[in-house]
A and B are shown apart, each in its own frame.
Chain A
């Protein structure tokens, strides 16, 4: 027993010595953690004013608490770990971006740091990961200040309470209204839009000198090319891709969600099995029966057929509706392509319009700084230009859009198509739609179910999912 006592006391002594050595480290961590949790960060300066009697004495003690944030900025000594976590700390702006935007934002951030002496960290995440990472890690104090995102995440982000309203003030006038509307949720603006995208008709200029203006014309051209053996598939539409078939749905009078009087989507009104929705299903069914649509074709197969395996072979398809993200593939392949508006169907076909932008986290330690970065620095010709160059889509920054539309006929065609588009629904109920809709398209491609029944079942599934608490 006495041995244990001796051991214990010896241990206590060594621990005391060691933990006093670890003293500096121990004070660094707590000073960092309150800044990571905004609630406590504001609580620290609260003390001086809460007790006016000691107010004059307190600033002396309050200063050390505030000083780490400003000592940090000139020399980046806040990163003692070799690999700092991609979480924001006070005084350093942290941005989560995808692989395309990370290099651009890094160079924009370097210029920002040079001008304003504020360090910026840009971390790369998969585009699809950013939304859920913010929802899970933001509230835990491990999130960034700013994220890159798509406007249709907004429903989920706002419902979770992780994004902050944004005030663009007088800069708002330089943005296309469609971009601002897309990043508004229930009347509040949450993000700074920078590009929008919508699909249009790619066509092969060697095979089709003038693009079709009506849907029937397109089908005739596609059939002729197929029958002549010039192509494998005249018109390409990948299986199981609701997004790319939406213009056909709207072109035949169908819809996904009805709209309220103020233009917002009404999740109570599912229109996949409306008369127009059934006409859309029958049209797809007919295209499959006529041999114009083929089972087992995916996005990659369409790219390969349209570009002739990236230029290695002659193209094997003449028409494909997709978005500006495919431009790089087409341009690199050397195929003689053109982009035209989606041909007229029974109604004006409306593609989905998606908008990308930047949002400020509700748990950002540097909220005002982050908003300032967006309004003062991203909302400028120079930054918008760099973002556009990295990944050409339709700019929503009006000065840039004007020049791009005038100089790039492809982007101009996408912009034209987007004018008729419907904003991709941002309401959380949209997550109920994709699976059921995909299944409906698949069973039509596989010819395993009657088209009317396929969309009726899908709509019933969607209604059922939305009604679930």
Chain B
């Protein structure tokens, strides 16, 4: 028995019954939801998701019923959300990286098989039919069919397609408009317009007939036309082939397509196929990636580190000023300095792009008029980088200001008093007391900020779209492209459409890089703290 558990049971002690009822009712509600939802998932074909849900629900029940797991109760919702929002997407991304999920490989194999199996063909010479529907009060349908020669058939989901007997006693009086019976055995004829309302039910009916002894099926093609056709493709699961009954060919799955022995593809889209490490191999060997990688990677690190340093430096400087009690209107300045943080970054970034426009922007018209300068902010690589740093510093410093202000206030004032008594100068106090103590509190945030800027796709895309381009380069990498924006360009704005699998693979690599850098950063900062 641990102290925690004792504490827990003591806490339970005053109202054991009400606590018990609460627990049971709450759990029952959760379980009832889980059962309903899990059943819907299961019947929708999402067996894995249903199993996962069952597992999670079981875990929740155990945690809430077993007293020994009491502390887990309060973090279990957090863990659940973590699994749902973080772990599941990460696992899914990893899974995608091992497939060929992209432009031509979107559907599952089963969906492609379903598309093929729903195709039909009509033998030579058979014409399309005109149809009218009859509906009973209980919602059943009959389909009246007329072929171009005037032969009439009746399609019934229960008994198939039969030739109409002109003297059928079930037929009601003839409708003079189209010469069809108005009723058949309690089924009332639907007008053409009325049929629209039931089209989905009608086209879903399975009415069988036969063509030369082979089982055929009625297909409603439009509001007027129907055809009796033979199923063209069937999938033979035991041999894993799709058989084309009309042409007599067989297609086997290969490379995410159904392919015949002569190399021709079945008339169907590709499907998602498991391709092992091919994407990883491609990332490592693709000359477009490797030739540009070093330059892009260097700029990414410079951009991320530079942004953090600049934002932190400006935030710290302002925080030191605002922290000084002698500054008049302190609160006003603080509020004003935080305003950039409250304007959505999207808007700020776009406004900056407008301000820096070399032809129309106010920045350049000022520089032109006063210094005769006209910097081409987005046409010159170095200037574009300067512009990006400027904009990102503007966007990022208020955050650093807020956290630094908070951290400054937590530094005990007696340290400063002691330092003052010892005759330390302001610079010495800052170097020996403020900065080291501040770093302890701020370092994790700096590392987080570094990781964020490492993947700051939004800023790059809004400001330069990776440009300016490198003249004479064979890769689509621009001079301000960071890894994430460059991989976006490779995966989505190139080739033959969206390459989700390639993008997933690159994101795994980026994750590995950031994880490594963060780890090193933490080690280093711990060593720095120990030194201090």
Contact = CB atoms under 8 A, between A and B. Distances in A.
Interface in A293-311: 294-297, 301
A7 B494 contact: no
B193 interface: yes
Nearest to B111: A139
Contacts of A436: 476
B199 A15 contact: no
B493 A48 contact: no
Contacts of B359: 294-297, 301
Contacts of B45: 37, 40
B198 A70 contact: yes
Nearest to A445: B379
A462 to B, nearest CB: 9
B114 interface: yes
Contact of B496 (A14, A296, A431, A448): A431
A115 B43 CA distance: 36
B124 to A, nearest CB: 20
Contacts of B118: 42
A156 interface: yes
A36 to B, nearest CB: 8
Given A14-B24, A156-B497, A372-B196, A55 B158 contact: yes
Contacts of A439: 467, 469, 476, 478
Contact of A461 (B205, B220, B376, B476): B476
A39 B474 CA distance: 46
Given A37-B45, A135-B106, A22 B472 contact: no
Interface in A15-57: 15, 17-19, 21-22, 25-26, 29-30, 33-34, 36-42, 45-46, 48-49, 55-56
Interface string B196-236: 11111111111110000000000011111100000000000
Interface stretch (A175-183, A329-337, A361-369, A413-421): A361-369
A464 B204 contact: no
Contacts of A66: 139, 201, 204
A446 B23 contact: no
B200 A10 contact: no
A15 B358 contact: no
Contacts of A291: none
Nearest to B489: A435
B35 A19 contact: yes
A100 interface: no
A73 interface: yes
Given A19-B36, A49-B160, A435 B494 contact: yes
B496 A429 contact: yes
A231 B500 CA distance: 48
A431 B23 contact: no
B472 A371 contact: no
A67 interface: yes
Interface string B284-299: 0010100000000000
A350 B513 CA distance: 48
B158 A457 contact: no
A459 to B, nearest CB: 11
Contact of B107 (A59, A139, A442): A139
A141 B204 CA distance: 17
Contacts of B225: 169
B524 interface: no
A63 B467 contact: no
A296 B358 contact: yes
Contacts of B348: none
B469 A10 contact: no
Contact of A371 (B39, B61, B222): B222
A446 B222 contact: no
A73 B197 contact: yes
A442 B196 CA distance: 53
A368 B197 contact: no
A442 B468 contact: yes
Interface residues of A, number: 97
A4 B63 CA distance: 11
Contacts of B197: 70, 73, 116-118
Interface in A61-94: 62-63, 66-67, 69-70, 73, 90-91
A453 interface: yes
B92 to A, nearest CB: 13
Interface string B73-100: 0000000000000000000000000000
Contact of A37 (B44, B107, B159, B199): B44
A66 to B, nearest CB: 6
Interface in A431-469: 431-432, 434-436, 439, 442-443, 446, 448-449, 453-454, 457, 460-461, 464-466, 468
A67 B221 CA distance: 22
Nearest to B220: A368
Contact of B106 (A25, A46, A62, A160): A160
Count class of interface residues, chain B: 35 or more
B181 interface: no
A11 B24 contact: yes
B497 A431 contact: yes
B317 interface: no
B316 to A, nearest CB: 36
A80 B107 CA distance: 30
B107 A372 contact: no
Nearest to B159: A55
B139 to A, nearest CB: 6
B496 A432 contact: yes
A10 B24 contact: yes
Interface string B351-365: 000000111100000
A33 B29 contact: no
Given A432-B496, A465-B495, A449 B199 contact: no
A160 B66 CA distance: 50
B472 A457 contact: yes
Given A7-B23, A161-B269, A461-B476, A56 B65 contact: no
Contact of A49 (B29, B208, B357, B360): B208
Nearest to A39: B114
Contacts of B378: 296
B40 interface: yes
Given A14-B24, A448-B379, A33 B471 contact: no
Nearest to B499: A468
Nearest to B61: A11
A132 interface: yes
A117 B475 CA distance: 56
Nearest to B117: A39
Q: Which of A25, A90, A435, A460 has the most CB of B within 10 A?
A: A435
Given A30-B39, A368-B220, A428 B206 contact: no
A136 to B, nearest CB: 8
Contacts of B443: none
Interface of B: 20, 23-25, 27-29, 31-32, 35-36, 39-40, 43-45, 61, 65-66, 103-104, 106-108, 110-112, 114-115, 118, 138-140, 157-160, 193, 196-208, 220-225, 268-270, 286, 288, 357-360, 376, 378-379, 467-469, 471-476, 478, 489, 493-498
21 contacts: A7-B65, A18-B28, A19-B35, A19-B36, A29-B36, A36-B44, A45-B206, A46-B206, A90-B201, A90-B204, A136-B106, A161-B270, A295-B358, A295-B359, A295-B376, A366-B200, A368-B200, A376-B196, A446-B376, A457-B474, A468-B286
Interface of A: 4, 7-8, 10-11, 14-15, 17-19, 21-22, 25-26, 29-30, 33-34, 36-42, 45-46, 48-49, 55-56, 58-59, 62-63, 66-67, 69-70, 73, 90-91, 115-118, 132, 135-136, 139, 141, 155-156, 158-162, 167, 169, 294-297, 301, 362, 365-369, 371-372, 375-376, 428-429, 431-432, 434-436, 439, 442-443, 446, 448-449, 453-454, 457, 460-461, 464-466, 468
Given A49-B206, A161-B115, 9 more contacts: A4-B66, A11-B61, A49-B158, A116-B197, A139-B106, A368-B221, A436-B476, A457-B473, A457-B474
User: Which 5 pairs between the two chains have the least Cβ-Cβ distance?
Assistant: A161-B269, A14-B28, A449-B471, A18-B32, A428-B496
